[in-house]
């Protein structure tokens, strides 16, 4: 992991978590999912765009027969949640009677999951659970059950490993925090 600051859109970020630390957290989370879903065939519902790197790495460690679909929702503008969820691309697969695992990059205010989970539940799945890379408990504004959390972090703005700052930083293998 680099030891220097990076600048995105004029904002500075310092190193926070290395790629190896992220890999360990993701592998541990996958082991829990594999154990909990033994004998079942879950459908992983990946929330784009931020969740793509986390989902890719998580699924490499999933040993269960499973399917993967992608949806796109957004509630961010810059470094702040807009408080409004804008669904861009919806789920088209049949989910009735299926075990759904929603894969999200970060849960902070909980607005996205608060909107998405009931929408999924209304389609009659057997279960809906949330797997998130990061959880910011200090920021949570909605009551949610987070079944799988790779890492709890403080209420700081982070970029890298799929997370962005106005479109930049998603490609970074490490995670950086705003200074």
Active-site annotation, residues = 108
**Distance between CA 175 and CA 156 in Å, rounded?**
12
Residues 6+ apart with CB under 8 A from 47: 71, 72, 73, 102, 103, 104, 105, 112, 116
HSE on the CB side for 6, CA within 13 Å? 20
The angle that helices 19-36 and 52-61 make with each other, rounded to 10 degrees, is: 60
């Amino acid at each position: 992991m680099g030891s220097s600051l990076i600048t995105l859109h004029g904002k500075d970020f310092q190193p926070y978590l290395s790629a190896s630390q992220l890999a360990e957290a993701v592998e541990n989370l996958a082991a829990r999912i594999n154990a909990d879903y033994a004998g079942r065939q879950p459908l992983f519902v990946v929330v784009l765009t931020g969740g793509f790197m986390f989902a890719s790495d998580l699924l490499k460690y999933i040993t269960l027969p499973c399917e993967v679909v992608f949806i796109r929702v957004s509630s961010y503008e810059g470094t702040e949640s807009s408080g409004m969820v804008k669904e861009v691309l919806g789920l088209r697969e049949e989910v009735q009677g299926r075990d759904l695992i929603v894969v999200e990059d970060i849960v902070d205010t909980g607005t996205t999951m608060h909107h998405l989970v009931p929408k999924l539940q209304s389609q009659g799945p057997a279960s809906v659970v949330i797997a998130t890379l990061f959880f910011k408990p200090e920021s949570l504004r909605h009551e949610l059950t987070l079944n799988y959390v790779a890492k709890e972090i403080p209420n700081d703005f982070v970029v890298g490993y799929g997370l962005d700052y106005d479109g930049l930083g998603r490609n970074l293998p490490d995670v950086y925090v705003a200074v």
